[in-house]
Homo-oligomer: A and B are copies of this chain.
């Protein structure tokens, strides 16, 4: 990157170009091509979001991309809000259509006439669905890749409830989902604001939108959730019959996380002067660099690994001696070292973990010079190992699993070491002390 992140606006354009996140050379103004580098991450984002929505009871659907003009006009505020931005299909083949069709700018008017057919009684509620799709809006403001384009990628969730209270609870659930996904998984901080009436979603009673601060200090609107009240249900006849034969119109909400725009926030928040940075689970290429060799002994260790390779028939069999080498280097085996060894030897991580867990000679934490292992398995326990353990803790001033500050003593609780017949027992290094009691210990 040639431009520091302080010049955010230029940095944004440069990272898109250098990391090939978006190709602006498609020959339709406001439309862009999203090449693999970005599409891979957006697909991961879609899957994470869809899974979260499904867990909360939303089911996937596919609704048509085209909406007849008469549907769009059924809710007056809504049509007024969107019609200036609508792309209209007026011809098919060489013939003019009788009625123009709108490319969906959002799907309320495509979905809600169907909801009216799907909902009869109260038992059809709540209805919670979503679709992952594109929407098209003829933006007249300046466009900016991922943030404002004439075609964008999003999920829209639409819900109908029997009561206003349930609908308001859904608005809250949408806010929680936003927190779980955007903040906790994508690492994007934000605050929800209730929008003033002049700035709400067209046709809604209230709009709650999450705003994030971009690195240049400007706000960017992220997902919004809308309390639609009964505005649309009355326009589209979405209602259920009560026991007395009267009707109640449904209480509706909708929620629209725009994946393409959230993606803009993702790489803007995490990227730096060197380039792209993603949260680990979002990264299409995941790499961890872990040394198992210290610099000054590297050549020697490499030579030993090569020697070992000659002596063992399979890489699986090499696991034990290579782990032993690693422990000699660092004094213990970290999880990262296990992952490295698994990759190095091309064996499953589970195999390496199994080996390290099984053999007590491998330490998963740094240990001191003297390692005291107290058996607390059944036989030893019955014969007083707990008392011995406590005495040792008090004597050394450390708890089980800890190492003393002078790095001299480490105290561990271990599973059966095969001396049940002479319980309780304690091992210090490789020496066994059997048939112990607190008295003997003190000596």
**A residues adjacent to B (C-beta < 8 A):** 23, 25-28, 31-36, 39-40, 42-43, 50, 59-68, 70-71, 83-94, 100-101, 103, 110, 113-114, 117-118, 129, 131, 134, 136, 138, 140, 151, 153, 378-379, 418, 420-421
Contact = CB atoms under 8 A, between A and B. Distances in A.
A36 B65 contact: no
A62 B378 CA distance: 61
15 contacts: A23-B118, A25-B114, A26-B113, A27-B70, A28-B67, A34-B63, A36-B59, A36-B60, A65-B134, A66-B87, A84-B93, A87-B89, A88-B91, A89-B89, A379-B418
A225 to B, nearest CB: 21
A18 B410 CA distance: 68
Contacts of A28: 64, 66-68, 101
A59 B39 contact: yes
Contacts of A110: 26
A65 B418 contact: no
A110 to B, nearest CB: 8
A88 B97 CA distance: 10
Which 9 pairs from chain A and chain B are nearest by CB? Answer: A36-B59, A421-B421, A92-B138, A34-B62, A88-B91, A31-B64, A39-B60, A84-B93, A90-B90
Contacts of A131: 39
Contacts of A23: 114, 117-118
Contact of A88 (B32, B90, B136, B138): B90
Given A26-B113, A66-B136, 11 more contacts: A25-B117, A26-B63, A33-B114, A35-B129, A43-B50, A66-B151, A83-B93, A88-B89, A93-B140, A379-B418, A420-B421
B65 A33 contact: no
Nearest to A83: B93
Task: Say what secondary structure dominates the interface of chain A.
Answer: mixed
B87 A91 contact: yes
A140 B92 CA distance: 10
A16 to B, nearest CB: 14
Given A93-B138, A379-B418, A420-B418, A151 B36 contact: no
Contacts of A379: 418
Given A92-B87, A92-B138, A421-B421, A36 B61 contact: yes
Given A59-B40, A113-B27, A378-B418, A64 B94 contact: no
A26 B421 CA distance: 79
Given A25-B117, A61-B36, A114-B25, A100 B93 contact: no
Nearest to A67: B28
A61 B34 contact: yes
Contact of A33 (B31, B63, B70, B71): B63
Nearest to A82: B93
B101 A92 contact: no
A65 B23 CA distance: 15
A65 B151 contact: yes
Nearest to A91: B88
A9 to B, nearest CB: 24
Nearest to A116: B25
Contact of A71 (B27, B42, B101): B27
B117 A64 contact: no
Contacts of A138: 92-93
B26 A64 contact: yes
Name, among A35, A84, A113, the residue most crowded by chain B CB atoms within 10 Å (CB to CB): A35
Contacts of A65: 65, 103, 134, 136, 151
A36 to B, nearest CB: 4
A123 to B, nearest CB: 15
Contacts of A61: 33-36, 39
Nearest to A111: B33
A39 B26 CA distance: 31
A432 to B, nearest CB: 14
Contacts of A33: 61-64, 114
Contacts of A43: 50, 60
Contacts of A35: 61, 118, 129
